[in-house]
Structure 1
Amino acid sequence: MLRQVYFSSMIIKIIRFSQVFNTFGRRFCSGFTSCEDEKARDNKFIEMYMKYLDLNAEQAKKFLSGYTSLWGQNADYTEIEKTLKYLRTNKFSNYDVIEHPTCLFINPATYENRDMVFKECLFQNVKLSFYIRYVSIMNKNLAVLKAYQYVHPSSDVVNNLRKQLDIPVKLEKELADTLSLNEIRREIMNKYLKERLHMTDDEIVRARKIYTHMKHRNLRGMVETVNILIDELNFSKERITKNSYLLHARAENIKAILIEIPKIAEMDIKEVVHARPKILMQNCETLKSIIQHVRNFNIPDEAIIKCHEILTLSSDTVYSRLCELHKVKEFSVMFNNPRILRLIHYQTKAKTRLEYLKQLKMRCFSLNLLSGPTETFEKYAYIGGDKTKGKEIIEFFSNTFKIEQKIVREMLHLHPHWVQVPVLSINNTMYFFRYKGFSKEDMLQNFLLLLYPISKIQPKLDALFEWKSESDDNRKISDVEVKTLSNSKLLSLCLYFIESEYHFTGNAIFEINKFDNKNDPSMIPDLPKSLIEKKYRFGTKESQKVAHVNVE
């Protein structure tokens, strides 16, 4: 018995020590720079709580001592500040906040929704603790809530809930006080969805199962949202039913989006959200922030139209991925591509695919290949043809030299292997020529030379420069003195000398022998699981079996 007590006390001490270490010990394990950063962050949080809760430094530290989630590494300063502002604006006392610190984990939008639900259910003397205990309160019988005086005993809650709707609903059964508020609200909400959107019982059950927060939606807000979707955005009832998450969209936020972001490029915002309804679930300020991030990276708004899915990501995610584009050289070369934002939306998948292609020693890839359907990528990787459709190459030349894509395509078709050249190689060759002092006009006049790797160009070009610098007047090519040749003519000669070694077949563009690029079937690595398993928010869909070369 004594041994059990001893070990129990030791376990308790270890747990307490680990809690203290998690809070403070990390500072002594991270180095001085990390310690200074954490101290600055802690001071920032302390100052915020002093400001909004009227505390001095000691009181703020005492308030935070038991709640590291309100100021630690995982605490979101911006979100907590928004909640503090909301509580102060709505005149909740500082004493209540200090007594119930967990109230700071609830965001302002949730407070507003719960406040509306309490009003619709005729609650009286609503306290801050009600918002924290919202779920348990809504699960209580109405009779119990009336007994506790949360709701006045004579209040007709059912009738008041029906008044929130803009259409008359006839209930099939009487909703007695023995039912919980959740059950009462569910019956009225279901009846409204049947009458207004013609949803079936199965569709309602499915929507509630997938979008569990729907049961907490205030009725007035849902009605306003449905009316905006149908009357202003021209959503059909079937479309709303199919995208039931829209029932949880905030009407005020939708109105703000329509007013503050009327257009993206030349496309009406109504057309944009009609094509991608999920955008309506995004906060208006977040959408404006995403658009601004894109503009700050000198990407035109037209790129957003070509990939409006980017508007469903968080603002911080978009910014970090835009920065990441410059760090991955294969991505940075596509920066002026009109569909570049697809690499933002599908960046994780694109990076995984890029690494896999490198394992296969394949250098040619397109933006669509890295971000497109899994089946297309599997087929490309399995067949092993290291070439693209050439769209990225055409767009790259068109954007660089400011000439029409049709003209670029006609010029590229003069070379038999132009689709087998990586855009990154073309970009490197251009930088090489600029470093050597050649102008864009010189490069444009020798357009096809840009398809060749530097390893093939440099030896020939160095020899030509050496001949040109010689004082020997006898150094001639076709009776023309080399030293009199222009830069453009030098590049033309460079191309001639390169291809002469390959009998003018065009094979000189390959940096390595094309036969060396073939993989032994037994050495082909399996596709990463992240590429063959398509994940969904509410489950995993079994992907089709990946094609492999099986060697017995």
Structure 2
Amino acid sequence: MYMYYLLMNSKSNKWISIINKGARYVQSRAVNIENTSYVQHLCKFFDISESKAQFLCLKHPTITKLNEEKIKSLVDTSNEIGLSPEILIEEPALFGILPVTLKYRYKVLQECGVKIITPAMLTTYLTILKQKTIGELKNSGYLHPQINIENRLASFMTQWPTSLTTLIYEDVEKSTLYALRLKIIQRYLELLLDLTNEEYYRGIKTYPTIKHRPLKNINATLNILQSQIMMPNQKIKSNLYLIHADPENLKDIIYNIRSLGGIDIKEVIRMHPKLATKNYRTLLEIRKVFEEYGISNEAQRRCFSIFTLGSDTIRERLENAKNVPEFNTFFKHPRFLKMIHHNNTAMKRLSKLYSNNKKCASLNVLSGSASHYEMFEKAPGDRLGKGKDLLFCISQSLGKKFNMSQVRKVIKRHPFWINTPVFQVKYVYEQLSTQFTNEEIYENSPILLYPWKKVKLILNLIDKKQMHIEIPIIHEYFDYSVVSKSQKLSLVLYILEKNHYFSGNGVWLDENKQCVESDPS
């Protein structure tokens, strides 16, 4: 009896412990809800009390995942389709539906001829469309008994051939709205784009959202693509996702953006159809980001795919590129955006190359094809390939006065010009440009190939009038004032190479460890 009492007592204690934990959990949840911002958002947009807002959040946790912008978007969408925002409070399940989905569901039901669209119908949309036949919907009062659904739906498509009399060869009453809509879409695309049965089913399998786009939207989008953008039917067929592009957004892109990278936006969309599905506000934001960072139209033309990214992502990557010497070096390069577009790949490649002690990575290596990168990675030594990036970097640094061919004539005299990392060359130029003109640097272009520590050490010797230490034939009391700045750089080159018999080996940092270690910088 005593053992039984202990057993029962331990069980009751266990239950009491569980109840207490549950109470603490509920209490903590209530406190969390009370302190979170979405309660205030609900109160703000729906004019309800805090206690009711807290109750809604507890009963429908989906609401807690919505920020102010998303709640506002839902409210705006409700107003747009003619429902009062209070409907969302009466039917909280609507909070779990995306605003664009809510809008399209309403329009689809409207196109189907549903007499009164209630909030509950928006949440049970799939059941109404896919599980109930048209006959059942008419008997239930959802649809008017005398309505010809086939003709009604077909009327939203405006480019039917006049000779066409019948669309569906079966009893429509036994079909669902979902199946009927798909057949009308298929028939329309078949006639308009010469789309085969196989192409159609492959398309809706790949892009299932087409199934639930309002027919009016599909028709409007096709009209814009064909008559305004002048996109060939074959291109629409091979990019069937274009069919579910928002026609209003497409109009905004055409009329509000007009051009990207200096090219007419219609031509850009013909070349890169994916941009037709991009939100026009995002495209405007991206263009502003490029203006802010000084990205040229030519760079944009070389990589229109960059516009498929988000504006925040592009801004973040551009900002990060400033802090990576290898990226920053190519900031003004026409193909720089390709590296931003493939940023993750470029960063991984750069890290791997550094681990293999390869520093002469070109833009093509970092953002080009995998085969090109693998070839560079496996190749012996460390060289720039054709060296175009190096020549571009120097010519851009020196200004418009010196083009790439002029720079090449001077720089190629050095036997190891193609083995110098581009970011090192740019850094040396930046340091020299504070003391020397572009013309003086151009006349001694090979000096850009040498490590700055070595160059700076020799410049310091000249500035301190101690050149006789390196060149004994120069008298201690040599008049340094007669040496021009260009000659000064020539002297630096001479001193850097004289111990290497002017073979060019002075460019290697490890050749003169004493020089590096004694550098005060």
The 3 A distance-change label for structure 1 pair 236 and 20 is farther
Task: Report the equivalent of 1:131.
Answer: 122
Residues 297-316 of structure 1: matches in 2 within 5 Å? 297-316=293-312
Deviation at 1:115, TM superposition (A): 2.4
The 3 A distance-change label for structure 1 pair 486 and 4 is farther
* Residues 278-297 of structure 1: per-residue CA shift (max 9 Å, x gap): 00010111111111111111
Task: Report the equivalent of 1:417.
Answer: 416
Residues 520-539 of structure 1: matches in 2 within 5 Å? none
Residue in structure 2 matching 1:122, options 113, 128, 131 = 113
Q: Following the alignment from structure 1 to structure 2, what is the Cα–Cα distance between the partners of residues 83 and 320?
A: 29
Q: Secondary structure at the match of 1:467?
A: coil
TM-score normalised by structure 1 residue count: 0.81
Q: Following the alignment from structure 2 to structure 1, what is the Cα–Cα distance between the partners of residues 334 and 70?
A: 34
Residues 389-538 of structure 1: matches in 2 within 5 Å? 389-402=386-399, 403-434=402-433, 437-467=435-465, 476=474, 481-512=479-510
Task: Report the equivalent of 1:159.
Answer: 151
Greater Cα offset, 294-303 or 13-22:
13-22
Q: Following the alignment from structure 1 to structure 2, what is the Cα–Cα distance between the partners of residues 296 and 103?
A: 40
Task: Report the equivalent of 2:74.
Answer: 83
Is the 8 Å Cα contact of residues 254 and 266 (structure 2) preserved in structure 1? yes
Q: Following the alignment from structure 1 to structure 2, what is the Cα–Cα distance between the partners of residues 348 and 286?
A: 22
Structure 1 counterpart of 2:95, one-letter code: L
The 3 A distance-change label for structure 1 pair 441 and 55 is farther
Q: Following the alignment from structure 2 to structure 1, what is the Cα–Cα distance between the partners of residues 232 and 412?
A: 48
Task: Report the equivalent of 1:63.
Answer: 56
Task: Report the equivalent of 1:222.
Answer: 218
Residues 39-438 of structure 1: matches in 2 within 5 Å? 42-43=36-37, 45-72=38-65, 75-141=66-132, 142-166=134-158, 167-168=160-161, 170-171=166-167, 173-388=169-384, 389-402=386-399, 403-434=402-433, 437-438=435-436
Structure 2 counterpart of 1:158, one-letter code: E
Deviation at 1:477, TM superposition (A): 6.5
| Number of equivalent positions | 493
* Residues 397-436 of structure 1: per-residue CA shift (max 9 Å, x gap): 222221322322222222222221111111221233356x
Structure 2 counterpart of 1:499, one-letter code: E
Is the 8 Å Cα contact of residues 304 and 341 (structure 1) preserved in structure 2? yes
The 3 A distance-change label for structure 1 pair 316 and 102 is farther
* Residues 363-404 of structure 1: per-residue CA shift (max 9 Å, x gap): 011122111111111111112342222222222222222132
TM-score normalised by structure 2 residue count: 0.85
Deviation at 1:362, TM superposition (A): 0.3
The 3 A distance-change label for structure 1 pair 492 and 54 is same
* Residues 172-221 of structure 1: per-residue CA shift (max 9 Å, x gap): 52243222211111111111111111111111111111111111122121
Deviation at 1:455, TM superposition (A): 3.1
Task: Report the equivalent of 1:535.
Answer: none
Q: Secondary structure at the match of 2:172?
A: coil
Unaligned runs of 5+ in 1: 28-37, 514-552
How well do the aligned residues superpose, as a CA RMSD in angstroms?
Answer: 3.3
Is the 8 Å Cα contact of residues 175 and 184 (structure 1) preserved in structure 2? no
Structure 2 counterpart of 1:390, one-letter code: G
Is the 8 Å Cα contact of residues 272 and 305 (structure 1) preserved in structure 2? no
The 3 A distance-change label for structure 1 pair 446 and 481 is same
Q: Secondary structure at the match of 1:205?
A: helix
Deviation at 1:22, TM superposition (A): 8.6
Q: Secondary structure at the match of 1:171?
A: coil
Structure 2 counterpart of 1:246, one-letter code: L
Is the 8 Å Cα contact of residues 466 and 476 (structure 2) preserved in structure 1? no
Unaligned runs of 5+ in 2: 1-7, 512-521
Deviation at 1:56, TM superposition (A): 4.1
Q: Following the alignment from structure 1 to structure 2, what is the Cα–Cα distance between the partners of residues 158 and 14?
A: 59
Is the 8 Å Cα contact of residues 139 and 180 (structure 1) preserved in structure 2? yes
Identity of aligned residues (%): 28
Is the 8 Å Cα contact of residues 442 and 487 (structure 1) preserved in structure 2? yes
Q: Following the alignment from structure 2 to structure 1, what is the Cα–Cα distance between the partners of residues 501 and 20?
A: 82
Structure 2 counterpart of 1:424, one-letter code: F
Q: Following the alignment from structure 1 to structure 2, what is the Cα–Cα distance between the partners of residues 309 and 417?
A: 36
Is the 8 Å Cα contact of residues 386 and 420 (structure 1) preserved in structure 2? yes
The 3 A distance-change label for structure 1 pair 330 and 122 is same
Task: Report the equivalent of 2:4.
Answer: none
Q: Following the alignment from structure 1 to structure 2, what is the Cα–Cα distance between the partners of residues 7 and 186?
A: 58
Deviation at 1:469, TM superposition (A): 9.8
